[in-house]
Amino acid sequence: MEMSREEARRRAARKRAAAKRKKYRRRRLMVLAAGLLIVALLVVGIVSLVTRAVKKNQPASALEPTAAAASAVADTLLPTAAMTALPTAVPATPIPATPAPAIQADWYIERTEQLYKNLSTYGNYPDAASIYRALDKMQIDPNGKMLALTFDDGPYPPITGAILDVLEANHARATFFIKGAYVDANQDLVKRELGLGCEIGNHTTNHDDLEKLSPADRRTTVGDVNDKIYRLFGYRIHLLRPPYISYGKKGSDTREDIVAMAKELELAIVNHTRSSHDSHEDYTAQMMIERILAEKDELGRGLNGSILLFHDKYQKTVEAMKVIIPALQQQGYQLVTVSELLNCSKEGLHYGWIYSKAD
């Protein structure tokens, strides 16, 4: 008799759990349907406007639906730059990866919503369920070991694509500090970076030395990159890596101006804490591997919390990454983006701050 009661309790518990799972799936589908409905209504509205224009015999130039839609979006979302390309539409309300994010903080919720948008717009996923699974793999344990891989000077084919191949094969992510002058001819690479959940940072238009520029020219070379990335991909950059680690000496007018510019443009200035030395001609892939995987660097600093520097323009970097990435993962490191790393730190992420242990 006692066993039958226990069995009844177990059955009731299983029924309640099944009901909860069914309720969550139904809620998730309802949110997705609502987002798709909004997109459909926008399309219907555009078609309706075009139809009325035809009836009024307006000029042909006024009947281009794509141009009209782009202009409307540009006026509301992009007041500082002309719209030249629209990303694929995504649900108006991004759906979180799970009902309970690993980190209960506003920045983490916003980060997950941005990832959902990037993966659904630029990623190679067949359906929403596969996006949810990918986002679950990108959850962060704030108490676990983590570091950030960073790559400067791209997008640079075919090296950038080869590095993305290694990242994708290992379900890893990184931060790419890009040169604005390389973006127009390599938009597919930037889309793929975003589609894999990577972060985009600013490395100026032409690898410009900020210390040698006037305040106005600094704002142009940095601001133009931010504007271009937002115009083309709907993505806002919040990290700046000054070329040559050049942002003025402490207390100088140059540094004060660069910090002020960063605050104005909502950027954090990010240095690195360990370099791979891949830009050194005499450094081989094996030397890079040994240097990066060393428990301590020459200053006695460990790997946990590190920002590692590479360049996505050398074949030896590709070969080194094939060893470095799985080795770091086997050691238990989470390969997060720079913004995620900084937000998980005690200091947090702040615009206008300079993040550099070597400063």
pLDDT at 37 over 80: no
pLDDT at 50 over 50: no
The whole-angstrom separation of Cα 359 and Cα 278 is 21
DSSP 73-96: HHHHH-TTS-----PPP--SSPPP
Same domain, 77 and 162: no
Scan for tokens 């509205």, then name that residue.
45
Q: Collapse the DSSP code of 332 into the 3-class scheme (helix H, G, I; strand E, B; otherwise coil) and give the result.
A: coil
Same domain, 31 and 155: no
Same domain, 11 and 155: no
Domain that holds residue 156: 140-355
Q: What is the mean pLDDT of residues 276-299?
A: 96
Q: What is the pLDDT of residues 117-131, one digit of tens each?
A: 999 999 999 999 999
Last residue of a domain, one of 30, 50, 81: 81
Same domain, 315 and 191: yes
- Choose the weakest-confidence range: 55-69, 233-247, 308-322: 55-69
Please, which pLDDT band fits residue 225 given cuts at 50, 70 and 90?
Answer: very high
Same domain, 288 and 218: yes
Please, which pLDDT band fits residue 81 given cuts at 50, 70 and 90?
Answer: very low
The per-residue pLDDT for 101 is 73
Same domain, 160 and 284: yes
Same domain, 186 and 299: yes
Q: What is the mean pLDDT of residues 82-90?
A: 42
Assess if residue 238 is contained within a domain.
yes
The one catalytic residue in 257, 311, 312, 350 is 311
In the chain, % of residues over pLDDT 90: 69
Please, which pLDDT band fits residue 4 given cuts at 50, 70 and 90?
Answer: low
Same domain, 172 and 298: yes
Same domain, 67 and 145: no
Assess if residue 115 is contained within a domain.
no
Q: Domain of 185: which CATH number? A: 3.20.20.370
Assess if residue 181 is contained within a domain.
yes
The one catalytic residue in 152, 153, 208, 257 is 152
Last residue of a domain, one of 33, 61, 81: 81
Same domain, 216 and 300: yes
pLDDT at 306 over 80: yes
Last residue of a domain, one of 36, 54, 81: 81
Please, which pLDDT band fits residue 356 given cuts at 50, 70 and 90?
Answer: confident
Annotated active-site residue 207? The verdict is no
Q: Strand 274-275 vs strand 307-311: parallel, antiparallel, or unpaired?
A: parallel
Q: Residue 73: CA atoms inside 13 Å, Cβ hemisphere, count?
A: 19
Please, which pLDDT band fits residue 314 given cuts at 50, 70 and 90?
Answer: very high
Same domain, 170 and 317: yes
152 vs 298, higher pLDDT: 152
The per-residue pLDDT for 102 is 83
- Average pLDDT, rounded, for the chain: 82
The per-residue pLDDT for 67 is 37
**Number of independent structural domains in the chain:** 2
Assess if residue 96 is contained within a domain.
no
Same domain, 77 and 157: no
pLDDT at 172 over 90: yes
Q: What is the mean pLDDT of residues 331-335?
A: 98
Assess if residue 312 is contained within a domain.
yes
- Choose the weakest-confidence range: 38-47, 183-192, 222-231, 348-357: 38-47
pTM here is 0.74
The whole-angstrom separation of Cα 332 and Cα 239 is 26
Q: Who's near 154: CB < 8 A, 6+ residues apart?
A: 160, 176, 178, 179, 182, 186, 189, 311, 312, 313
pLDDT at 94 over 50: yes
289 vs 84, higher pLDDT: 289
Annotated active-site residue 171? The verdict is no
78 vs 197, higher pLDDT: 197
pLDDT at 341 over 60: yes
Assess if residue 331 is contained within a domain.
yes
Assess if residue 316 is contained within a domain.
yes
Assess if residue 68 is contained within a domain.
yes
